[in-house]
Structure 1
Amino acid sequence: MGALRLVHVSDTHLSPTHGYFADNWAVFHEAMQADPPDLIVHGGDVAFNGPAAPADLAFGAAALRALGPRCLAIPGNHDIGEAPSFSRLAQPVNDARMQAWRDHVGPQWWSEDVAGWRLIGLDTALMGSELPGEAAQEAFLSEALAARGGQAAMVFVHMPPFDADPADQGFSTSVIPPAPRARFLDACVAGGVKVIACGHLHVYRRLRHRGMDIVWAPPTAMVDVRRSQQRRRRFPRPGYVEWLLEPGRAVHRLVEPPRMFVIDVSGWTATSGGTTTTLPPRA
């Protein structure tokens, strides 16, 4: 039996009323239909503005279902909101937004065993939220890792654990907040996690931390060329990450389809509060 092929896609920002990124999603959909992987994991921000427009979340969920039955997803901040103390867009995660995700997409956290690997998906909006779900999710992670047997573990989260410094205590809406970050990373190391797969910052990147690979998936939607070149010295392109999983071994490659075009939103976000959620409707 060959390696299991897993595609990690993230930050698609789909909407029936704000169709700015529909063409790139169509390219992704066509690629998945032409050469179907064994499993697709969406790493969050399925929707353009799910916290304010549940129709965006429903639209995105339908797009995921159209990919086929082997598709899992975790929520991003544009699906479910943000931890209340770290809510840049005044869209705190709450019961109604969490229920909308569960109704349209599925569970906020989950585990799946494939090819000698335990895959675990988590909701980073709960991290630092002080909601009851935060403790429940932490307990789930510990239990899922403790019960993995001889399987390796790979954890999917929307927000990266950190950018440059895992000990950074500064306020940020770009990465997991400091206190839950420390608990999360400690749990991953103690539980034998080999890979953390994330997204959120709309650029591909690979880090090594305490024996774990941390791999950032690019978006299929928009990029911010100015910010990426200033912070990463990298021209960002849309795409996705393809993994090959075998017992005890995981390798990945970055896929940047030639018909998936760069949509640079830095001109808009520079004058619009750093967000695309203020864009006007577009079919």
Structure 2
Amino acid sequence: MAAIRLVHVSDTHLSDTHGYFAANWAAFRDAMAAAPPDLLVHGGDLSFNGPAAEGDLAFGAAELARLGVAWRAIAGNHDVGEAPDFSRLDQPVNAARLAAWRRHVGPHWWSQDLGDWRLVGLDTALMGSGLAEEAAQAAFLAETLAGRQGRPVMVFVHMPPFDRDVTDAGPSTSVMPHRARGAFLDACAAGGVKVIACGHLHVYRRMRHRGMAIVWAPPTAMVDVRRWQGRLRRFPRPGYVEWTLDGPSATHRLVEPPRMFVIDMSGWTATHGGTTTTLPPLAPL
């Protein structure tokens, strides 16, 4: 069987009313047209401000369809909100926001077999939420891993499981809540998961944990140059991750298209004390 190309793109923040990142998305769209993958997985934050503007979800879903390739997607905090105890943007996930995602984009959790691999998508906004959907998603993950029939598994989540210290129990909006993290990682480590693919923090990064590769996809939208230059000692750039699945092996490469602009909105957020969701409207070019 021929090797399978899988593209993982994340944090696109698309909108027809706040088109700050439209040029980078256009560059991504051109890259997909030039070399269509076998499957594209969007890793969350499809929309600019889906919890407040359902039209952003509709626009993002239409843009995915416009690519003309097979795709799956998982939700991010800018799509459905955040677990109530960790709602930095004061947009707690709720029934209405979950329903809007399902209406325009698709399910909150899913699995798909591709070649020798089983792919699993989960919604990290549900983790630590206390909603009924949190338990249903955990049960789905357990069942899906138990029924994998020896397949290696790649799990897609929006938030990384942790940053530097897996035992850090401090409150955070950057990684999975501690009270949900342990059970998730235990299930993955025992269930044949070889790769955890995530995004959310707008930088490319690799690490290993308990035999699993954890790969952070960069955004196509904004980056925080000062933050990640200081921490990782490299210049963060927009892009995406391309995976090659060849039998039971999986390798990846970082793709940073030269036509993608480095957009840093940290000056705005620092000056206005808000987030990018407080930016004024800007029509896409």
| TM-superposed deviation, 1:150 | 1.8
| TM-superposed deviation, 1:227 | 1.3
Matches within 5 A, 1:260-275: 260-275=260-275
Residue number in structure 2 paired with 1:112:
112
Residue number in structure 1 paired with 2:30:
30
Residue number in structure 1 paired with 2:42:
42
Residue number in structure 2 paired with 1:278:
278
TM-score where L is the length of structure 2:
0.98
* Alignment coverage as a number of residue pairs: 283
Identity rate of aligned residues, in percent? 75
Q: Contact conserved, 2:83 with 2:129, CA < 8 A, in 1? A: yes
Deviations 1:14-48 (A, max 9, x none): 00110000000000001101110000000000000
Amino acid at match of 2:18: H
Residue number in structure 1 paired with 2:79:
79
Q: Contact conserved, 2:17 with 2:282, CA < 8 A, in 1? A: yes
SS of the residue 2:271 aligns to:
coil
Q: Contact conserved, 1:218 with 1:240, CA < 8 A, in 2? A: yes
Q: Contact conserved, 2:112 with 2:118, CA < 8 A, in 1? A: yes
* Equivalent-residue separation in structure 1 for 2:119 and 2:32 (angstroms): 20
| TM-superposed deviation, 1:228 | 1.2
Q: Contact conserved, 1:151 with 1:247, CA < 8 A, in 2? A: no
* Equivalent-residue separation in structure 2 for 1:240 and 1:272 (angstroms): 29
* Equivalent-residue separation in structure 1 for 2:271 and 2:84 (angstroms): 24
| TM-superposed deviation, 1:274 | 4.9
Displacement over 3 Å in runs of 4+:
none
Residue number in structure 1 paired with 2:165:
165
SS of the residue 2:214 aligns to:
strand
Residue number in structure 2 paired with 1:94:
94
Structure 1: tracts of 5 or more residues without a match:
none
Q: Contact conserved, 1:152 with 1:247, CA < 8 A, in 2? A: no
CA RMSD in angstroms, aligned pairs only:
0.8
Deviations 1:194-251 (A, max 9, x none): 0000000000000000000000000000101111122222211000000000222000
* Equivalent-residue separation in structure 1 for 2:271 and 2:71 (angstroms): 36
Matches within 5 A, 1:222-261: 222-261=222-261
Matches within 5 A, 1:200-239: 200-239=200-239
Deviations 1:102-148 (A, max 9, x none): 00000000000001000000000000000000000000000000000
Structure 2: tracts of 5 or more residues without a match:
none
Amino acid at match of 1:174: S
Which stretch has the larger CA shift, 263-272 or 139-148? Answer: 263-272
| TM-superposed deviation, 1:69 | 4.5
2:16 pairs with 1:16? yes
TM-score where L is the length of structure 1:
0.99
2:131 pairs with 1:154? no
Deviations 1:172-213 (A, max 9, x none): 000000010001000000101000000000000000000000
* Equivalent-residue separation in structure 2 for 1:233 and 1:122 (angstroms): 31
